[in-house]
């Protein structure tokens, strides 16, 4: 079946979007074939130059997006995720160059052996092909996702949110010109230039035209993609992350970690959303921790026991324990012991990043063994769950699933493998 024919087989209600999307995906497929043997690193450096040259145009376009969202009443934390300035554009350009400097993830032999009958076998890394990205708000993801896909030899089809459409148009145009500067096809990066949600459904149904879709965003977006996709998906999960202050915690350390993990960038998935405090230390620890957080503008929502110790807290509801606020809001609960803390994390956590502050090594190791999350910290901020911080280079997301990839997804997770066999005329008996 022809590629365009496969792209047209979508559920009722998406035919117009599918028809529009089909030629775009076909062009991405053709362009991708030039990437594995092309000078991808030169292209990434050319993209960085284009971004710097267009910094003013990018910031001006982004200002329109930010103004429109501010007029809708969007929170400051989410506006921060959307906002670009000259410094952030430079950071995006520098990240392109950093990815260019990373080792090539393609054409690596992972293992090799000889069959008893004689043929040699090698397992080697190869591109996925065409990678679709569905994401919200943050325009830096537009470049991060495309650049990582390109470095891994795949074409990128980008569907950002309506809130960043003006920003994304300028960013993608700059990347396409950078590809052409390096002698690679500009169609290797494609923007779905529409706010129509039907295009999301069409992309998720494009079996045979799209090899992988990676969603980045809030709970509703992730759930929609996972539940409706007909193409393979890597789930980058929401972050209902917890800080557990154990009874043996160093309170200076707990305070520093709590403030950093909640306040530094509250609108990101590795910020904490709930703080659990051991009952044995709560009378001393909680008023101190609450004061430090409230000084930074954090609104606290506590259980009944927490509110009794800190009357300025708002009462927490059942809904608060499972909410990813992405804002300067923190749920607080007093727990009787580590068992209750573990039960709470198991019930409400999203398998993203969890931290315990403790001086008890045995408790620390137990917590790391029993908490089911992509990253489990002892005495360190959850804000380190990041591709650059882990030493992977740029990341395309934080995977909270267990198949193929888990945790920060860098270049190593953006390739697949195939087996290459060489013989001398052997046939199977």
State the pTM of this model.
Answer: 0.80
Same fold flag, 3-236+396-421 and 241-384: no
What local confidence, expressed as pLDDT, does residue 136 receive? 85
Greater confidence (62 vs 13) lies with 62
> Which among 372, 413, 419, 379 is positioned nearest to 395, based on CA atoms?
413
Judged by average pLDDT, the poorest of 5-9, 262-266, 369-373, 412-416 is 5-9
Question: Which secondary-structure segment (H or E) carries 309?
Answer: helix 304-309
What local confidence, expressed as pLDDT, does residue 231 receive? 95
What local confidence, expressed as pLDDT, does residue 307 receive? 98
Residues in the chain, how many? 429
Task: Count CA atoms within 13 Å of residue 406 on its CB side.
Answer: 12
Contact present, 370 and 362 (Cβ < 8 Å): no
Report the percentage of the chain scoring pLDDT > 70: 97
pLDDT at 13 over 80: no
pLDDT at 301 over 90: yes
Pairing of strands 155-159, 241-245: unpaired
What local confidence, expressed as pLDDT, does residue 14 receive? 54
CA distance 389 to 373: 18
Burial 117-129 (b: 16+ CB within 10 A, else e): eeeeeeebbbbbb
- The number of angstroms, rounded, from the C-alpha of 367 to the middle of its chain's C-alpha atoms is 25
Q: Give strand pairing partners of 207.
A: 210
pLDDT at 5 over 60: no
DSSP alpha helix (H) spans, 152-273: 165-181, 198-204, 219-228, 251-263
Q: Over the stretch 311-370, which tens digit does the pLDDT of each residue have?
A: 999 999 999 999 999 899 999 999 999 999 999 999 999 999 999 999 999 999 999 999
Contact present, 231 and 210 (Cβ < 8 Å): yes
Band the pLDDT of 237: cuts 50, 70, 90: confident
DSSP string for residues in 331-379: EEEEESSHHHHHHHHHHH--SSEEEEE-S-HHHHHHHHHH--SSEEEES
What local confidence, expressed as pLDDT, does residue 78 receive? 83
What local confidence, expressed as pLDDT, does residue 3 receive? 39
Q: Over the stretch 239-269, which tens digit does the pLDDT of each residue have?
A: 999 999 999 999 999 999 999 999 999 988 9
If 0-12 CB within 10 Å is exposed, 13-18 middle and 19+ buried, where does residue 202 land? Answer: buried
CA distance 255 to 262: 11
Contact present, 390 and 398 (Cβ < 8 Å): no
What local confidence, expressed as pLDDT, does residue 373 receive? 95
CA distance 341 to 350: 15
All structural domains of the chain with their residue ranges: 3-236+396-421, 241-384
Greater confidence (18 vs 408) lies with 18
DSSP string for residues in 105-141: -SS-EEEEEE-TTS-EEEEEEEE-SEEEEEE-S-THH
Dihedral of alpha carbons 136, 141, 142, 146, sign: negative
Highest CATH level, class, for 241-384: alpha beta
> Which among 187, 181, 239 is positioned nearest to 34, based on CA atoms?
187
* Phi, psi (degrees; rounded to nearest 5) at 174: -65, -40
Judged by average pLDDT, the poorest of 190-204, 223-237, 238-252, 394-408 is 394-408
Q: Give strand pairing partners of 113.
A: 121
- As a whole number, mean pLDDT of residues 45-53 equals 98
Report the percentage of the chain scoring pLDDT > 90: 82
Q: Give strand pairing partners of 330.
A: 300
What is the fold of 3-236+396-421? Aldehyde Dehydrogenase; Chain A, domain 1 (3.40.605)
CA distance 375 to 385: 7
Band the pLDDT of 157: cuts 50, 70, 90: very high
Band the pLDDT of 7: cuts 50, 70, 90: very low
pLDDT at 37 over 90: yes
CA distance 401 to 390: 18
Q: Taking the CB of residue 173, how many other CB atoms lie within 10 A of it?
A: 17
Band the pLDDT of 12: cuts 50, 70, 90: very low
Backbone dihedral region of 407: left (phi > 0), alpha (psi from -120 to 50 degrees) or beta? left
């Amino acid at each position: 079946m022809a590629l365009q024919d496969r792209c047209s087989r979508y559920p009722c209600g998406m035919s117009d979007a599918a028809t529009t999307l089909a030629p775009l995906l076909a062009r991405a497929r053709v362009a991708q074939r030039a990437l594995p043997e092309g000078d991808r690193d030169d292209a990434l450096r050319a993209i960085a130059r284009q971004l710097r040259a267009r910094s003013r145009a990018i910031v001006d376009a982004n200002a329109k997006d930010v103004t429109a969202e501010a007029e809708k009443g969007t929170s400051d934390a989410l506006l921060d995720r959307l906002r670009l300035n000259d410094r952030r554009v430079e950071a995006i350009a520098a990240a392109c160059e950093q990815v260019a400097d990373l080792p090539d993830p393609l054409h690596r032999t992972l293992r090799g052996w000889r069959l008893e009958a004689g043929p040699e076998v090698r397992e080697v890394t190869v591109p996925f092909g065409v990678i679709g990205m569905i994401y919200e708000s943050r325009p830096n993801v537009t470049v991060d996702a495309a650049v990582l896909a390109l470095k891994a030899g795949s074409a990128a089809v980008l569907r950002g949110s309506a809130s960043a459409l003006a920003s994304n148009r300028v960013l993608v145009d700059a990347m396409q010109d950078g590809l052409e500067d390096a002698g690679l096809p500009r169609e290797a990066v494609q923007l779905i230039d529409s706010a129509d949600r039907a295009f999301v459904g069409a992309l998720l149904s494009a079996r045979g035209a799209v090899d992988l879709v990676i969603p980045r965003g809030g709970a509703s977006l992730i759930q929609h993609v996972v539940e409706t996709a007909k193409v393979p998906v890597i789930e980058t999960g929401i972050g209902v992350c917890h800080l557990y202050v154990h009874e043996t915690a160093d309170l200076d350390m707990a305070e520093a970690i709590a403030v950093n993990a909640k306040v530094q960038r509250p609108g990101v998935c590795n910020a904490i959303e709930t703080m659990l405090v051991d009952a044995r230390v709560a009378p001393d620890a909680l008023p101190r921790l609450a004061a430090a957080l409230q000084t930074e503008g954090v609104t606290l929502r506590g259980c009944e026991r927490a509110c009794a110790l800190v009357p300025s807290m708002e009462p927490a509801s059942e809904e608060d324990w499972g909410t990813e606020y992405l804002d300067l809001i923190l749920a607080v609960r007093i727990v009787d012991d580590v068992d209750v803390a573990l039960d709470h994390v198991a019930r409400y956590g999203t398998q993203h990043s969890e931290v315990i502050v403790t001086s008890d090594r045995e408790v620390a190791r137990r917590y790391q063994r029993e908490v089911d999350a992509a990253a489990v910290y002892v005495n360190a901020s959850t804000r380190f769950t990041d591709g650059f911080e882990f030493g992977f280079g740029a990341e395309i997301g934080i995977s909270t699933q267990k198949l193929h990839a888990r945790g920060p997804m860098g270049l190593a997770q953006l390739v697949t493998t195939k087996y290459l066999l060489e013989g001398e005329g052997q046939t199977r008996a």
